[in-house]
Amino acid sequence: MEALALERKEEQKRELKERILQLKKERNAIILAHYYQRDEIQEVADFRGDSFLLAQKAATTDAEVIVFCGVHFMGESAKILAPTKTVLIPDERAGCPMADMVNVDGLRALKKQHPNAKVVAYINTSADVKSETDICCTSANAIKVIESVDSDEIIWVPDKNLGDYVSKFTDKKMIIWEGYCNTHDMLTVKDVEEMRAQYPNAKFVVHPECRPEVVKLGDFVGSTTAIIKYCKESEHQEFIVGTEDGTGFQLRVDSPDKKFHFATKYLVCPNMKVNNLKKVVRCLETMQPQIYVPPHIADQARASLERMLLVK
């Protein structure tokens, strides 16, 4: 019975994937998937990436419809950068707790306290917050963005852990908001030490959204894309991974002969995982839910995103 159930499940997945291929052609649609999505979503994606790579792709695609398999702020960024496109998100409940930790009123108040500061906002923020921002960044380009800003004083929102990390690479004064990623912040020094005892030959690769004391333990620290690249190019064959477990899909694709152990079983973002194949089919069939950003907000937020894309 268990074998039959598994066979039926695989058959359903095949049927859903075939339907998605059909709908993509009919709608002239492209599927963008963040590295933290379920494996089944990443398998059908036209393009997989982190926030920065997906923002670049959204800004340049010729497709009429973008299905953004990620969380809400990512879909907003795609809509801001590609205002003439229809941007769909399979499940509009896919939010980001860290993005919700900063709001426009709080940011405006902080700007009044520091009138000479420039605001650098992690892309993990709402469109409203981006509209109050001088420039956005991702974990992949945060240090370069900070150095590109014409100010010695930076208001950084919302991730305190990433803010702490980038502050070590600049002489600028960093005024850091007290937000954090619920998933990455769960990883502790004890978790890493236990994994190192279990896998003594493994290198520890870690995302800078983790706690500072955890990041200090990293053999390599970087964005999701940087971690994947490092593991692929490294001579080492075994890794302890300190980022969201969906990254395992691309790690296994790029480095099938290497071993990857996630630093704790809790490195799972429940918001990223709400999307599935059925919801992708449904959103392409109904063309809902669509991402909408008010034009006046989009115009202001677009400037901060486009400045980010210009940083080399």
**Which residues does 63 contact at the CB level (< 8 Å), separation at least 6?**
28, 29, 30, 85
Please report where in the chains the tokens 């240090």 appear, as a residue: 143
Judged against a pLDDT cut of 80, whether residue 175 lies above it is answered with yes
Judged against a pLDDT cut of 80, whether residue 2 lies above it is answered with no
pLDDT in tens, 25-74: 999 999 999 999 999 999 999 999 988 889 889 989 999 999 999 999 99
Judged against a pLDDT cut of 70, whether residue 288 lies above it is answered with yes
Q: Which amino acid is at 182?
A: N
Residue of 119, 102, 124, 118 lying closest to 55 (CA atoms): 124
Instruction: Go through the chain and tell me how many residues it has.
Output: 312
| DSSP assignments along 249-266, one per residue | HHHHHH-TTSEEEES-TT
pLDDT in tens, 252-287: 999 999 999 999 999 999 999 999 999 999 999 999
Compute φ and ψ for 76, nearest 5 degrees.
Answer: -60, -45
pLDDT score, position 52: 80
Q: How many CB atoms lie within 10 A of CB 268?
A: 15
pLDDT score, position 56: 86
Q: What would the mean pLDDT of 196-201 be, rounded to a whole number?
A: 98
pLDDT score, position 10: 86
pLDDT score, position 158: 97
Domains of the chain: 2-95+272-293 (3.40.50.10800), 99-180 (3.40.50.10800), 184-262 (3.40.50.10800)
Judged against a pLDDT cut of 70, whether residue 108 lies above it is answered with yes
**Which residues does 126 contact at the CB level (< 8 Å), separation at least 6?**
72, 73, 76, 99, 100
Determine which of 1-15, 132-146, 191-205, 256-270 has the lowest per-residue pLDDT on average. Answer: 1-15
Residue by residue, what is the 3-state secondary structure of 28-53? CEEEEEECCCCHHHHHHCCEEECHHH
Q: Which amino acid is at 51?
A: S
Question: pLDDT > 90: what percent of the chain?
Answer: 93
Distance between CA atoms of residues 211 and 208, nearest Å: 8
pLDDT averaged over every residue in the chain: 96
Q: What would the mean pLDDT of 150-161 be, rounded to a whole number?
A: 97
Distance between CA atoms of residues 224 and 205, nearest Å: 10
Give Dmax (Cα) for the chain. Answer: 68
Greater pLDDT, 193 or 140: 193
Q: Which amino acid is at 40?
A: E
**What 3-state DSSP class applies to 192?**
helix
Judged against a pLDDT cut of 70, whether residue 1 lies above it is answered with no
